[in-house]
A and B are shown apart, each in its own frame.
Chain A
Amino acid sequence: MTPLHLSHYTQVSCVGDGLAALRRALRSGTGGLAPCRFDGTALPTWIGEVAGLDRAPLPAAFADYDCRNNRLALRGLQADGFDAAVNDAIARHGPRRIGLILGTSTSGILETEIAFRHRDADGALPAGFNYRGAHTTSSLAAFVRAWFGLEGPAVVVSTACSSSAKVFAAAARMIHAGLIDAAVVGGVDSLCLTTLHGFASLELTAPEPCRPYDAARQGISVGEAAAFALLERPPATPDADAVLLLGCGESSDAYHMSSPHPEGLGARMAMEAALADAGLTPAAVDYINLHGTATLNNDAAEGRAVGALFDNRVPCSSTKGLTGHTLGAAGALEAVVCAVALGDGLLPGSANTRQLDPSLRLDYLLASRDAPVKCAMNNSFGFGGSNCSLVFGKRA
């Protein structure tokens, strides 16, 4: 594909608001996971909660969209001046020519979960239950579209934990098809009982801060995040540190709803497709941000696929030990991690991981270190066997 420019990007997660907080976490290896107390839930697991969302309703004009997920979205839009960058892009391109393609898995379901506790004697939900503005999967895009007054194509991609990686691929296609000139892409997923109890039911939640790729890993730490990027055609002479989207690859496992293909066949197809889309060989990749959820099956399958495709030559890590697994926001959050790695010349380490699973042949980064990074891959794999790999790079 013709490269696209990430002209602005930012994140909010349990490590804090904005790129500075993310940089601090990546360099120090200190993340934001804490024992789960969410909504009074006493599950024996750790989570990555964004502080302050309970006390920060949306401004009155946007009350129709008020829910935890859209509050988190707004926190993300206001980090690092991302909203000003979008408004500048609207001034340049016009509100019709900017696409809005965002990922979420659970949207505002938390509000529905709470409303179900307040059903009346006949089982009816409270009159204030907000289906359209909160519950529905597309409320995230509806809120952000209203926030900016955008008038172009808008959609939510909801493919579980690959959602906000796939938004980059969909936006790139739409720009290259000439339908839009720029796109606001990103992912927002927020804590809710569905995912906390759901992953617990699958026995996939760790009783400790998650330890991706560790020999003794015990599962995931569920997190929440908002991460956004503004995708545009690159300027004629991009800055030396400009981050470009070089390629996207997608595949399906066709294997199982909640377990990856054991050899990571679908994962490997996505990585190969992303490299082919970028016109690169595996040797060109300097860093891989792994999906690395810290479940036994995910890390084994992904590790085998990465080992088979890249040998043990490419430094790689999962950063979910810092942020938790932010599900539908993970793709965009870890795209931002790749952008920081490229821009700062940083190979991020894997927080909480003590010893690499000895069955995997990988150059796995236990600690962060400085090194030039010209090309970074981001892997995101979701339930339903939905796989997406993205390749980012600096100006050639």
Chain B
Amino acid sequence: MSHTLTAWIEGIGLIAPGLPDWACAADVLAGRAPYAPAASVLPTPTLLPPAERRRASRSVRIALATGMAAVAHAGADPRQLPAVLSAATADGYNCVALCETLASDDPRVSPTRFHNSLHNTPAGYWSIATGSMAPSQSLCAYDGSFSAGLLEALVETASRGAPTLLIAYDTEYPAPIFAFRPIPDAAGIGLVLSPTQTERSLAQIAVDLTDAPATPLANPALDNLRLAIPALRGLPLLKLLADGKAAQANLEYLAPLSLAVTLTPVPAPC
């Protein structure tokens, strides 16, 4: 009864600890370069007006930078792209600061704290930064958030018959929530999906629901990253892209389901 969803991958964005961009990450994932741990570098969201830029949270920074990287790689116009944002968490620092204020003797909060507490704050800033009035979606499925976002982006691509942008991202919590949700750093994976093959297409992706468990990465350091940051549950898909060979991997979703991802690269032009 399973139903295969397909699309063409037009662009990739990746920011993760020790993997500052997709070009570097592709070499590391394919085993052409060693993995060197380092903190994630979150670019300043230069598309935002100065006041918003200064106040941009780590969630907003990772989401916007990941999305812009994928859009640039695809050569796409972000104003034309419906965006699917998926994250296991809203901004952790803002959450802790808000809860500290609410637990204090003076529970008055700042308006900016309040609107930055939303799960869809990065989606709002994405549309403000890019000027996109296209629909955007903000999803959460705990550790299955990458797969939930990928499913939604594939379904939207098929449903509208038009390209869709996926931005899966997460950020860390500070203490005291960190002790209960120890996400160590921020990371994001962005994909531009097209319903049809174009001259920019990098690979075809086909996704089915499966009962098979998620596929680990062979490199233990990279597999630790996959398990440490929910958005990076999508790394096995990026490894298939980096390897450049037709192959299959399973991504963590919601037990008992995983996503079976089959990737068929487009041969590079001679």
Binding site for B on A (CB under 8 A): 41, 94, 96-97, 105, 109, 112-113, 116-117, 119, 123-125, 129, 131-132, 135-138, 141-142, 145, 151-160, 166, 170, 173-174, 176-179, 193-194, 197-202, 250-258, 265-266, 269, 382-386
Contact = CB atoms under 8 A, between A and B. Distances in A.
21 contacts: A96-B1, A96-B209, A105-B118, A109-B99, A116-B99, A116-B103, A151-B256, A155-B139, A158-B139, A159-B136, A170-B137, A179-B209, A197-B108, A201-B110, A202-B114, A251-B133, A252-B123, A252-B135, A257-B116, A384-B118, A384-B121
A145 B257 CA distance: 13
B141 A125 contact: no
A201 B120 contact: no
A55 B88 CA distance: 30
A155 B152 contact: yes
B140 A254 contact: no
Contacts, number: 199
B45 to A, nearest CB: 14
Interface in B151-208: 151-152, 154-156, 158-159, 175-177, 179-181
A202 B177 contact: no
A155 B140 contact: yes
B103 A113 contact: yes
B40 interface: no
A252 B159 contact: no
Contact of A137 (B114, B125, B136, B140): B140
B123 A159 contact: yes
B151 A153 contact: yes
A300 B109 CA distance: 26
Residue picked from A124, A176, A201, A256, most chain B C-beta under 10 Å: A201
Contacts of B254: 145, 153-154
B111 A258 contact: yes
B196 to A, nearest CB: 16
A154 B138 CA distance: 14
Sorting the interface of chain B by its residue count into under 10, 10 to 19, 20 to 34 or 35 or more gives 35 or more
B103 A194 contact: no
A193 B102 contact: yes
B139 A156 contact: yes
A286 B155 CA distance: 31
Contact of A386 (B108, B114, B120): B120
Contacts of B151: 153, 155, 174, 179
A64 B232 CA distance: 26
B59 to A, nearest CB: 12
B136 to A, nearest CB: 5
Interface string B129-145: 01111111111111001
Interface in B228-259: 254, 256-257
Nearest to B116: A257
Nearest to B159: A173
B152 A125 contact: no
Contacts of B88: 136, 138
B20 interface: no
A95 B239 CA distance: 32
Nearest to B148: A155
B128 A154 contact: no
Contact of B107 (A138, A179, A197, A250): A197
Contacts of A131: 177, 180-181
B123 A136 contact: no
Nearest to B52: A257
B127 interface: yes
Nearest to A93: B1
A242 to B, nearest CB: 24
Given A145-B254, A197-B109, A201-B109, A252 B141 contact: no
Contact of A159 (B102, B125, B137): B137
Given A153-B257, A158-B139, A197-B102, A125 B179 contact: yes
B117 A251 contact: no
B6 to A, nearest CB: 11
A258 B181 contact: no
Interface string B83-95: 0000011100001
Nearest to A129: B180
A159 B3 contact: no
